């Protein structure tokens, strides 16, 4: 679960510290809020970070169980 108030810098920091990944690698990092109705995707497109967000009006995003903190 992620604090969904975080923006570019906060989510990039989570990718580096919690996931030990490089947020500028070109991988897509997906973060979900506690309630499960919001996700944010962070992606480096080669020129800058892109931040995409989606909020569901009904239902929740199904999230896989991650033992190591990351799912590939």
Cβ 33 vs Cβ 41: under 8 Å: no
13 versus 64: the higher-pLDDT residue is: 13
Mean pLDDT, residues 49-60 taken together: 95
pTM summary value = 0.84
Mean pLDDT, residues 13-20 taken together: 92
Side by side, the strands of the sheet bearing 38-44 are 28-32, 38-44, 49-55
Enumerate residues 6+ apart whose C-beta is below 8 A from 39. Answer: 30, 31, 32, 33, 53, 54, 61
> What is the per-residue pLDDT across 21-45, written as a single tens digit (0 to 9) for each?
999 999 999 999 889 999 999 999 9
Question: How far apart, in whole angstroms, are the C-alpha atoms of residue 59 and residue 19?
Answer: 27
Tell me what the pLDDT averaged over the chain comes to. 91
71 versus 48: the higher-pLDDT residue is: 48
Predicted pLDDT of residue 34: 87
């Amino acid at each position: 679960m992620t604090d969904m108030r975080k923006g570019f810098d906060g989510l990039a920091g989570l990718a580096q510290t919690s996931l030990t990944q490089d947020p500028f690698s070109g991988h897509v990092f997906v973060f979900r809020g506690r309630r499960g109705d919001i996700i944010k995707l962070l992606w480096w497109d080669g020129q800058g970070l892109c931040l995409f967000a989606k909020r569901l009006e009904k239902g929740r995003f199904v999230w896989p169980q991650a033992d190591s903190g990351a799912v590939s």
